[in-house]
Amino acid sequence: MPNAVTRVGTIALAGFAFVSSALGLGLAATVAAATQTNGATALAEQPADEIERFCGNIADAARDRRYALQEQQLENLRKEIDERIARLEEKRAEYEEWLTRRERFMAQAEQGVVQIYAKMRAEAAAAQLTQLRPEMAASILMKLDTRIASVILNEMDNEAAAMLTTIMVSAARPEDPS
């Protein structure tokens, strides 16, 4: 019976050596040592040592591969962010162009409104301006000729004229009072 155990052990060791060499582990010395001692203790101790060496040997390669994968992921994210930034820049340029066109239109429209109020009768202009938001009315009055603005303010009720005058004075200050 010891002969059969020795043969089975040798066959198992040979299979282990074949698998080890196929994996490039270089465990032939371990197999030879285990075969020579023909004991189960030597065989049980050697693979753990070899496993530790194997893990130690591939640790740098595994770390490098992990870093390469992380670097690739970061590069993909960087490309995606750059694409989004480019799209945002395009949208920003589009909005700036739209805002410029709107401001030009508003300036032309505002100038037209000022001219309309300049040509109105003072009583009608005063009645219309009191119906507007105070900031708008003050803005229009500030753009009118001072003589026309004074006649319109003269036609308004005292409280409305005082409020609009206060807004106009506040807007004309060179520094912020707060």
Task: For 52-102, write each residue's pLDDT tens digit.
Answer: 888 878 888 888 999 999 999 999 999 999 999 999 999 999 999 999 988
Tokens of 132: 């507007």
pLDDT-derived band of residue 4, with 50, 70 and 90 as boundaries? very low
Tell me the C-alpha distance between 109 and 104, whole Å. 9
> What pLDDT digit, counting tens, does each position of 144-161 carry?
999 999 999 999 999 999
Nearest to 153 by CA among 177, 176, 122, 175: 122
Of 44, 34, 45, 47, which Cα lies nearest the Cα of 6? Answer: 34
Please state, as a whole number, how many other Cβ atoms lie within 10 Å of the Cβ of residue 164: 25
pLDDT, one tens digit per residue, over 128-143 is 999 999 988 998 999 8
Whether 144 and 117 have beta carbons less than 8 Å apart is answered as: yes
